[in-house]
Amino acid sequence: MLNADKPLKQFYSEQEAAELLGISVIRLHMLLDEHVFNDGGDRPSHIRLQPADIVLLGFWDRSTPNSKVVRMPRRAEG
């Protein structure tokens, strides 16, 4: 995860983000497809992530279904 001792970059590549999160790029793509690019369109081929994006992806990676957390419904495919 992000280390407070290291200076933050403005943008991170998919590979850099996956390394910061300790996950594979395939897992990163799965998280992006499940939580961000879920409107039926394709995920862009090159993604630049900001530190806040990485924090949110880390939350999604660690989270398990919880009845106390209200999740946004998936977008209807149309």
Summarised one tens digit per residue, pLDDT across range 46-76 is 899 999 999 999 999 988 666 566 666 667 6
Asked if residue 25 belongs to a domain, the reply is: yes
User: Total structural domains in the chain?
Assistant: 1
Specify if 23 maps to a domain: yes
Mean pLDDT of 36-41: 87
Q: Which residues contact 13 (CB under 8 A, 6 or more apart)?
A: 47, 48, 49
Paired strand residues for 49:
12
Rounded to 5 degrees, φ, ψ at 49 are -110, 140
pTM for the model = 0.71
Classify residue 54: in a domain, yes or no: yes
User: What's the confidence (pLDDT) of residue 15?
Assistant: 97
Q: Which domain holds residue 25?
A: 14-62
